Structure 1
Amino acid sequence: MSEGNGSARGGRGGGSAGEAAAAASRLTARDLTLAYEDRTVVDGLDLDIPHGAVTVVVGPNACGKSTLLRALGRLLKPRRGAVLLDGTDLARLPTRMIARSVGLLPQSPVAPEAITVADLVSRGRQPHQHWWQQWSEADERAVAEAMDRTDVTQLADRAVDELSGGQRQRVWIAMALAQETDLLLLDEPTTYLDIAHQVEVLDLIRQLNHDRGRTVVAVLHDLNQAARYADHLVAMKQGRVVAQGRPTAVVTAHLVRDVFGLESVVVPDPVTGSPLVVPGRPWQAPGTAAAAPGSE
């Protein structure tokens, strides 16, 4: 098992754009401490986000995953340490410059009342606007492509607050894609989505990484999805990085027990070969005989 701040890079078998480019890192955290008033959430964390790869952050609730992502997107000022973009502290960079390089989709974003889907997705282009050029063919193309990729084109004229939770989530992802940043931070992007749309979104993330070379950092709750889609997996517990590296090196029964408090068996995914976490036997009433696999 690769525990501590392991140096392994990449993830899924067969090679990827992430594995080829993961030696460098544009986005890093150094001695990062994050807090809300008197409550420290992340403490002394060091992290290098592999360039050109899909990094997925996992961990139990309240371990600091989302707080870390907010700091990486400069939505939260560090109590100590710094987040660096191309070696420069985010706090020193102009907001517009950051917005052209780093896109962030936070948890449970709130849309302005009565705004349409097309208008909300178009707001992803604001960092690219200038007083002398408010809209361009490039903006139009980026918005149309983002809506098509997330399957919300048919919803263009609908009000966002009239949509289902899953539809709204896809619209927010479309806005983040329309921003066309090299670094994309996604906090639980599969929230509210059924399993088919979860897979569609995660496949889209992999496709963006492969076709466009985008560096993606996503927070996911589903450890099996994280292991399947990540090039680089970061496991957090109590505000610290417990393990990081290739999913095959990180996801073990020992780590699942240590980080999540769950007894499990880890086996190869029959489709991808990535680690597949199978929880221990479910609770049964005393005296109930366990059914054999495949029996009725």
Structure 2
Amino acid sequence: MTVVSKADSSRLTTRKLTLAYEERTVVQELDLAIPDGEVTVIVGPNACGKSTTLRALGRLLRPRGGAVLLDGEELAKLPTKRIAQQIGLLPQTPVAPEAITVADLVARGRQPHQAWWKQWSEEDERAVVDAMERTDVAGLAHRSVDELSGGQRQRVWIAMALAQETDLLLLDEPTTYLDIAHQVEVLDLVRRLNRVRGRTVVIVLHDLNQAARYADHLVAMKTGRVVAEGPPAEVVTAELVREVFGLDSVVVPDPVTGSPLVVPGAPWGAERD
């Protein structure tokens, strides 16, 4: 498979990154460069290391070997506050404090920019209001997060990450537990943020067709290694789907976007219908 290097235009990279949980190695000597100003989507089968890699990119997991680099410096050696000012991370299943309101949760995104002598500013207020407006949750400001639907709650979490105003935004399965309408809503929002604000976004997704539709740069992983990366039109082929997912399929152009659309092979018994 073709591997496209974008290290020359990447603030966030990995160098021979090895990640493990206790004695189980999940990612082995991974070299990865996240293209600046683009939407990168990481796909792969369950337990392939994609979410583990994202956690390491956000310094939630310390490398067993190698390093994650931000602007050429090892992430593990940088001050936590500096990282929080540069990288926003939304984990797969974030948990809100009980009874917290939408406005209060979004405001927590400003904590990396505050200091003990300067707790809240007009700049903080502007960032929070802007984030809520862009995610269409301003009308929910005084409601408890516990009362919201799955789609509304996810938009609020994204608003908090946006209020952080980082150049790099990492999202781990942001469409989990959402119906198809809310999945599209969230991914359209992420795409707009990238296009309008120039944010560099990294998303982990299970749905290969959604990944192909929304990604500028697609990374396919298997057993802790990158199998292929590059534009979806070059990466998503029937051969790759078979190699990575073990699935026979036909890849056709999406009738709406022209991006690759994976159609699985005939289901069991279909040939007799």
The alpha carbon displacement at 1:60 in A equals 0.6
TM-score normalised by L of structure 2: 0.96
Matching residue's letter, 1:54: V
> Which segment is superposed worse, 166-175 or 120-129?
166-175
**Where does residue 227 of structure 1 map in the other structure?**
212
Q: What is the 5 A alignment of 1:247-262?
A: 247-262=232-247
The alpha carbon displacement at 1:246 in A equals 0.8
**Which secondary structure does the structure 1 equivalent of 2:60 belong to?**
coil
**Where does residue 121 of structure 1 map in the other structure?**
106
**Where does residue 69 of structure 2 map in the other structure?**
84
Gaps of 5+ in 2: none
Match of 1:214 among 194, 199, 209: 199
Q: What is the 5 A alignment of 1:5-154?
A: 6-7=3-4, 24-154=9-139
The alpha carbon displacement at 1:285 in A equals 7.0
Change (3 A) 1:183 1:85: same
Gaps of 5+ in 1: 10-21, 290-296
The alpha carbon displacement at 1:162 in A equals 2.6
TM-score normalised by L of structure 1: 0.88
Q: What is the 5 A alignment of 1:141-180?
A: 141-180=126-165
Deviation string, structure 1 residues 142-178 (Cα, Å, up to 9, x no partner)? 1112112222222212222232333222211111111
Q: Is residue 251–residue 275 contact of structure 1 (8 Å, CA) maintained in 2?
A: yes
> Which segment is superposed worse, 88-97 or 161-170?
161-170
Deviation string, structure 1 residues 214-266 (Cα, Å, up to 9, x no partner)? 11000011111111111100000011100001101100001001111111100
**Which secondary structure does the structure 2 equivalent of 1:47 belong to?**
strand
The alpha carbon displacement at 1:59 in A equals 0.4
Instruction: Quote the Cα distance in structure 2 between the aligned partners of 1:157 and 1:193.
Output: 23
Deviant stretches of 4+, over 6 Å:
none
Amino-acid identity (%): 79
Instruction: Quote the Cα distance in structure 2 between the aligned partners of 1:285 and 1:265.
Output: 16
Change (3 A) 1:208 1:217: same
Matching residue's letter, 1:57: I
How many residue pairs match? The answer is 273
Q: Is residue 23–residue 51 contact of structure 1 (8 Å, CA) maintained in 2?
A: no
